[in-house]
Amino acid sequence: MKSLGHYRLFSDILFVAVSFVMAATISGREPSKLDGGIVIFLMVAWYFSSKATNLYDDFRTVKFIDEFLLVLPNIMVQMMVLVTSFFMLDDRMHARKVVLLFVVIATIVLTIKKYLAKKIAQFRRINGKNVRKVVIVGASDTGMSFYEMLNKTSHYGYKVVGFVDTFKPVHLNGMYKGTPDELERVLHDTDADEVIITLEKFDQEQLDTIIKTNDKLAVRTRIIPDYFRFNSSRFSVEMFGKFPIVTVRHEPLDYLHWRVLKRGFDIVFSLLVCVLVFSWLFPILAILIKLNSRGPVFFIQERWGRGSKPIKCFKFRSMLVDAPDMDKSGKFMQAGQDDPRITKIGRFLRKSNFDELPQFLNVIMGDMSVVGPRPHAVKHNIETMGKIDNYLVRHWVKPGITGLAQANGYRGETTDFNLMRKRVHFDIWYIENWSFWLDIKIIFMTAYNMIKGEPNAY
């Protein structure tokens, strides 16, 4: 309910203000006439950052851990706002202490508040309080799956009181209440709060009748299209003029502000790697490569970038110069275990992922990102795209030096197409569920795997 969302928003804003007052008091900072402006600044920032992170979009169906993870970026915004405020006030004496205390207090207070609110709400719903009664129109696969989900998650606070369909399914065990023509009677008998329409095929006249009946009795109508026929896990609905449009795949990186954030991080992170690591490691690796075998230090290969457009991908050379990339049958040869084409130093480079370091230059040039689906050789793409469904979807974003699939151990040779399908599944899931924090998580997972060692890296 919107009123509950407003309550949660304004109560959180109040706790933000209280956290600042507590931090300022504990730090020994004397109250200032401008403190009121700082508090307002923090409140306004929380309002807009919470809207950007969709913190209050749902409450019944969101787990506490998910809500907690949404609170953290809002706290980070608050920290930046507070640092900016003290910088503008030129108050360096108390800035660090107040900011640190504010972050700690706000995190603890909001975490406890949200945990208790979630537990109280769930306790009330499990005990039959604040429960919404639902009638499902349509006993299709979608309707039954939705019904089973609500039965398993009583803490959501929804209870299915009956089904309405044009026929009487035998598997409903007494839950069948009538046909769509009898909906008004069913709503009176069940005292339902909401109607969920899950019809496989929509008849416009029938749908209009159902909605009019619901509106007549002030019952909320929700529609779940039969998305099971779509090969995607994320959807978005938006208005195109006066027409509602369902986009089968939702891509956060379609939005300019997220692309700007990701690009900014790519540049900063890549420059830091080049200055702090590449500057001294590059000469060492270059000398080892030249001493081990004749040929250039870099291996430059054409691969597909965003939109399947060709890019020149840089790597440290790990194979012999005249190593073939096609077998006798004309099939692309992936690097395999004990591959005779790989040099001795090349094995070390591949095992440690150091062969990928030059791709930070690709990132700075704008061809690649730090995190994204790994780019494959053009011949590999051509051979694979016709065998794996949705393969080209992974090229909707820039390729990455590391990716979700690689962080989960899916790297190296892929002679088994089931493993390749899993890679593609990870890549598409990443595209549809991208977030800045997901990129950070993948980077840490990759670093951990490099230290631990990866059995499929060869």
pLDDT in tens, 396-434: 899 999 999 888 877 665 566 677 888 888 998 899 889
Instruction: Give me the residue spans of the domains in the chain.
Output: 2-126, 132-229, 254-452
Query: How confident is the model over 344-373, as a mean pLDDT?
Result: 89
Is the model's pLDDT at 214 over the cut of 80? yes
Name the pLDDT band for 14 (thresholds 50, 70, 90). Answer: very high
Query: How confident is the model over 187-206, as a mean pLDDT?
Result: 84
Instruction: Report the distance separating Cα 100 and Cα 23, nearest Å.
Output: 8
* Both structure tokens of 132: 């919404």
> By mean pLDDT, which of 113-127, 129-143, 279-293 is the weakest?
113-127
- 224 versus 21: the higher-pLDDT residue is 21
Contact of 59 with 5, CB cutoff 8 Å: yes
Is the model's pLDDT at 1 over the cut of 50? no
Is the model's pLDDT at 361 over the cut of 90? yes
Q: What percent of the chain shows pLDDT beyond 90?
A: 21
- pLDDT for position 280: 92
Query: How confident is the model over 125-142, as a mean pLDDT?
Result: 79
Contact of 391 with 428, CB cutoff 8 Å: no
- pLDDT for position 167: 81
- pLDDT for position 125: 67
CATH 3.30.70.2740 fits 132-229, yes or no: no
Is the model's pLDDT at 157 over the cut of 60? yes
The CB density around residue 347, as the number of other CB atoms within 10 Å, is 16
Contact of 163 with 214, CB cutoff 8 Å: no
Phi, psi angles (nearest 5°) of residue 12: -65, -40
- pLDDT for position 2: 47
Contact of 303 with 313, CB cutoff 8 Å: yes
pTM greater than the 0.95 cutoff? no
Q: 163 forms bridges with which residues in the sheet?
A: 136, 176
54: alpha, beta or left? (left if phi > 0; alpha if psi -120 to 50): left
- pLDDT for position 270: 94
Contact of 449 with 407, CB cutoff 8 Å: yes
- pLDDT for position 263: 94
Dump pLDDT digits (tens) for 296-317. Answer: 898 888 999 998 899 999 998 8
Q: CA angle at residue 456 from 426 to 423, to 5 degrees?
A: 15
Is the model's pLDDT at 271 over the cut of 60? yes
